[in-house]
Amino acid sequence: MTILTGDCREVMPAHGPFDMILADPPYGDTSLAWDRRVDGWLPLARAALRPAASLWVFGSLRYFLATAGQFADAGLRYAQEIVWEKQNGSGFHADRFRRVHELAVQFYRADVPWRGIFNAVQTTPDATARTARRKRRPTHTGHIDAGHYVSHDGGPRLMRSVISVRNAHGRAIHPTEKPVALLEILIRTSCPPRGLLGDWFAGSGAVGEACRLTGLRYLGCEIDAGMAERARTRLAALLPFDAGGAA
């Protein structure tokens, strides 16, 4: 598990190809000095993806509306998105709804059909018990009583696209740090076992921690040298995890 210091556009392409890329770039939604959109990284990320790999990008709706053409121009195709719902959020304007969500959008190479992309369907074991009754008698001949079936508690169901996870406020290293539990879901969905994940905007190293927990190989890049060192310290403090190939 390694975090390099430097500009991802200069550092990361040489270390591909990647089995998955996860990126949390600056959204450009505020006037903060570090919150400036980064140009030119998408074509480089696309070129660094294996054919079966995909790219997950965090952002606000404003960010994706402003950069939609850049994804298409880079040869990336939209797959799906999840909404991360957090317990508190940002109120940029007193006359608008308090924003308590962010988006993570999945893209894949436009020259590869979706069926060729690695995708491990995620489920949750929280199906609700219920009895479903047939309202009409079937149109078969003869007498058939109204039927029903019972769904038992605890069964699996497809994970829903709105995912509620507490943010990292109070313990975060980086101001926009994402919770490891949320990152794990994306990684388990889109990175094959023993795969190499590229984290192009590493920040606090939270993605590296999620990779450690899922047994994947990890390479991150962070332009802020001080933040990169803190992220390395974070990863070094994690317990070793032997998954037959994690490094």
Say if residue 214 is in the same domain as residue 143. no
Q: Please tell me which residue, 69 or 87, carries the higher pLDDT value.
A: 69
- The total number of structural domains that make up the chain: 2
- Residue 245 in any domain: the answer is no
Whole-number Å distance between alpha carbons of 204 and 41: 20
State the pLDDT at residue 175.
63
Whole-number Å distance between alpha carbons of 196 and 219: 7
- In this prediction, residues 152-180 reach a mean pLDDT of 79
State the pLDDT at residue 7.
96
Residues 110/43, Cβ–Cβ less than 8 Å: no
Of the pLDDT bands very low, low, confident and very high (cuts 50, 70, 90), residue 245 is very low
CATH of residue 71's domain is 3.40.50.150
Residue pLDDT, tens place only, 171-205: 766 667 799 999 999 999 999 999 999 999 998 89
Whole-number Å distance between alpha carbons of 161 and 81: 7
User: For residue 67, what are the CA distances in angstroms to 10, 59, 72?
Assistant: 21, 10, 9
Domain ends where: 142, 158, 174? 158
- Mean residue pLDDT across the chain: 86
Say if residue 142 is in the same domain as residue 101. no
State the pLDDT at residue 246.
44
Say if residue 24 is in the same domain as residue 93. yes
- In this prediction, residues 221-238 reach a mean pLDDT of 91
Say if residue 26 is in the same domain as residue 82. yes
Note down the domain range covering 143.
Answer: 131-158
Residues 197/23, Cβ–Cβ less than 8 Å: no
